[in-house]
Chains A and B, each alone.
Chain A
């Protein structure tokens, strides 16, 4: 079941796509996240002292960028942020050349956010540095899937952040991912990671946002009716809807809200008691999710952000091969 390739042409410690992670890697990352969280402040802050990490962001980002940056700083690393708005990228410099420049300036790992699917693979190949994919086009956002996993472990009954990680850790857990799956890198990373730990993953959305080919991702199911999907969920993961993406569909905004919005009424009527609500952000209150649900006790949206810090610390330590 673990499709991790025997030939991995990228620097060890890279995280480009969740398929590259063995279950043992996932366990190691979660373990190290916990250790770093518990670690004495001064010791943690010395872990990557003198090391340099570049954050290369070709798209705007609040939580991912900030959490990678704060994670790196909390480990004592020096960080530099390069964004497409304030660099030679604007002058037409290629991704390869930007990567080589960062490497020449001493970067030992690069965190990349890029609008082109697959860009982190190119950067990892051309620089030879460990690259952490912080979101590439519609492809993946692996650190988000890991932080979602840690949030689920923290919040679902009978698990806990230090639960033993194996192919059955999430057995009996149904995760319903709802919304614009087609364009979502978060959906892809979760849909390809969670079933390997035993979760049942149901994708939900209208055909325009959830095409049949999504089933080709493997161990996932599809349910177009949100009410029916929600009734089976232990975890309801909602995705942001960009209004312009509804333009090519048969749904208008009002219909989308009527059929797919997670609001208090729907939650009360359809969800099982205790169903955990996740959202990778940014949330659009009143569209895919109502404000009351986002702020409810059964929502873990803020906790996801906090878990992001823990997971990204672990990923950065792994990229720079620091023993935790």
Chain B
């Protein structure tokens, strides 16, 4: 029997409506009890953790990370990526399928989910929606779901063909899973490498217009509406990845008001930075979708505040330094994000925009867990998995990429100010990170 008592903390569990000082008892990998401070005084737990001054929250859940295995272990491994995740307060991450080979088969999926990969925390995966993510033929959704896939996506690329997208939404809905769309129409973004606008013009870089994102979001919403109307028993679930434009957020806001099952995620870099961060062609400010305008950044913060955005997801995308140390137009897209997500969310959303801590926890744990149907995660109710993030909510620090546990160091946030620091991460009842 293993026991861990987390004492003296302020517990926030939006799923059970708790936002008060509470002691938390974990036993054998489950939440065993929640009591008022001192409520476990009689208990002689084998181990205890003092959470004075800290928030005790359900472990963070990230529905969008790139762990690079199989195939690109020089960028990241499942072990290194999940170690970085643990340091960021995460206890569950969802790996994207753009691995080599692409995770479009039960074989690759099982390999990724195997304990032999030595993950520090829970690893889940979305499988490719189309074979090879080539956008032509759907994968075997039922078999992949049975093997553990928590959704389907061709992430990195959009599912462009409307007919294929429609079929994917129907088949995923039959399994109760989301289709997670990288919303980009390459016919409108062709050759573009940063946000369309004055900065791109000044730098002489081709601009990626907002409509390349919003037009696909609007099309997908129309498909969801049409499927829901013609299949009364189905509730298709469209999840829009890393929304970066006000126009796409507006479309999602309307779809939610209409009652359609449309969810979306926001990446910390999109609410922290604008296209100005490209500076002197910093390839660590290059990702897809790109950093946008200040208006878009504000629209994203508004969407996180007014619940249009369902969750925060990092799109953690490690690349080796030599891969990023090239001409801007030749550099791969993506930045790391697991160790900076909470510090940015607390600085920008909580401190600068007054978002309650409870809402931050909802965005980073409760809702992403719900989004992929995890009933026993993203909550601290008795019986749930003993996944806990303990963080000091107001400690100020700056991120030092040399301390990163990721194999890659491609971040625009080296030296950036952070608010709120993870003190301990507990996954399945075991302390997997301690500051």
Which chain A residues have a beta carbon within 8 Å of chain B's beta carbons? 16, 94-96, 114, 116-119, 121-122, 126, 136-140, 182, 185, 188, 192, 211, 213-217
B42 within 8 A of A: no
Contact across chains for B201 and A117 when beta carbons are under 8 A apart: no
Contact across chains for B325 and A117 when beta carbons are under 8 A apart: no
Residues from chain B with a CB closer than 8 A to the CB of A116 are: 327-330
Once A95-B326, A116-B329 are accepted as A-B contacts, the answer to whether A121 and B280 lie under 8 Å apart by CB is: yes
Contact across chains for A136 and B204 when beta carbons are under 8 A apart: yes
Once A121-B280, A121-B281, A122-B281 are accepted as A-B contacts, the answer to whether A114 and B327 lie under 8 Å apart by CB is: yes
Sampled A-B contacts (20; CB under 8 Å): A94-B322, A114-B327, A117-B205, A117-B281, A118-B203, A118-B280, A122-B281, A122-B326, A137-B204, A138-B204, A139-B203, A185-B204, A211-B201, A213-B200, A213-B207, A214-B201, A216-B199, A217-B198, A217-B201, A217-B202
User: C-beta contact mask, B384-424 vs A, less than 8 Å → 1, else 0?
Assistant: 00000000000000000000000000000000000000000
Contact across chains for B202 and A118 when beta carbons are under 8 A apart: no
Q: Which chain B residues in 280-323 approach chain A with CB under 8 Å? A: 280-281, 322
B231 to chain A minimum Cβ distance, whole angstroms, is 41
Residues from chain A with a CB closer than 8 A to the CB of B328 are: 116-118, 122
Interchain CA distance A96-B331 in the complex, whole Å: 13
Q: Which chain B residues in 184-216 approach chain A with CB under 8 Å? A: 196-205, 207
Closest to A19 in B: B202
Interchain CA distance A18-B366 in the complex, whole Å: 50
A95 to chain B minimum Cβ distance, whole angstroms, is 6
Contact across chains for B204 and A213 when beta carbons are under 8 A apart: no
Residues from chain A with a CB closer than 8 A to the CB of B201 are: 182, 211, 213-214, 216-217
Closest to B199 in A: A216
6 smallest beta-carbon distances between A and B, as pairs: A216-B198, A118-B281, A138-B204, A139-B204, A116-B327, A117-B204
Starting from the known contacts A117-B281, A118-B205, A213-B198, 4 additional A-B residue pairs (CB-CB under 8 Å) come to A16-B280, A95-B327, A192-B202, A211-B201
Interchain CA distance A121-B203 in the complex, whole Å: 12
Number of A-B contacts (CB under 8 A): 68
Interchain CA distance A213-B204 in the complex, whole Å: 11
Once A95-B327, A122-B281, A122-B327 are accepted as A-B contacts, the answer to whether A117 and B198 lie under 8 Å apart by CB is: no
Interchain CA distance A126-B325 in the complex, whole Å: 8
Contact across chains for B197 and A137 when beta carbons are under 8 A apart: no
Interchain CA distance A137-B193 in the complex, whole Å: 13
Contact across chains for B327 and A118 when beta carbons are under 8 A apart: yes
Identify the interface centre among B198, B201, B325, B329: most chain A CB within 10 Å of its CB.
B201
Residues from chain A with a CB closer than 8 A to the CB of B330 are: 116
Contact across chains for B203 and A117 when beta carbons are under 8 A apart: yes
Residues from chain A with a CB closer than 8 A to the CB of B198 are: 213, 215-217
Contact across chains for A188 and B204 when beta carbons are under 8 A apart: yes
B208 to chain A minimum Cβ distance, whole angstroms, is 13
Residues from chain B with a CB closer than 8 A to the CB of A16 are: 280
A96 to chain B minimum Cβ distance, whole angstroms, is 6
User: C-beta contact mask, B312-350 vs A, less than 8 Å → 1, else 0?
Assistant: 000000000010011111100000000000000000000
Residues from chain B with a CB closer than 8 A to the CB of A215 are: 198
Closest to A5 in B: B280
Residues from chain A with a CB closer than 8 A to the CB of B197 are: 213, 216
Closest to A122 in B: B327
Closest to B278 in A: A118
Closest to B327 in A: A116
Interchain CA distance A95-B199 in the complex, whole Å: 24
Closest to A117 in B: B204
Interchain CA distance A122-B283 in the complex, whole Å: 10
Residues from chain B with a CB closer than 8 A to the CB of A95 are: 326-327
Interchain CA distance A78-B198 in the complex, whole Å: 41
Contact across chains for A216 and B202 when beta carbons are under 8 A apart: yes
Closest to A116 in B: B327
Residues from chain A with a CB closer than 8 A to the CB of B207 are: 213
Interchain CA distance A192-B204 in the complex, whole Å: 13
Interchain CA distance A214-B203 in the complex, whole Å: 11
Contact across chains for B204 and A140 when beta carbons are under 8 A apart: yes
B281 to chain A minimum Cβ distance, whole angstroms, is 3
Residues from chain A with a CB closer than 8 A to the CB of B327 are: 95, 114, 116, 118-119, 122
User: C-beta contact mask, B159-195 vs A, less than 8 Å → 1, else 0?
Assistant: 0000000000000000000000000000000000000
Residues from chain B with a CB closer than 8 A to the CB of A216 are: 197-199, 201-202
Closest to A184 in B: B204
Interchain CA distance A94-B324 in the complex, whole Å: 11
Interchain CA distance A304-B190 in the complex, whole Å: 36
Interchain CA distance A136-B205 in the complex, whole Å: 11
Residues from chain B with a CB closer than 8 A to the CB of A96 are: 325-326
Contact check: which of A137, A140, A213 meets B329 at CB < 8 Å? A137
Identify the interface centre among B202, B205, B207, B330: most chain A CB within 10 Å of its CB.
B202
Once A118-B281, A122-B281 are accepted as A-B contacts, the answer to whether A188 and B325 lie under 8 Å apart by CB is: no
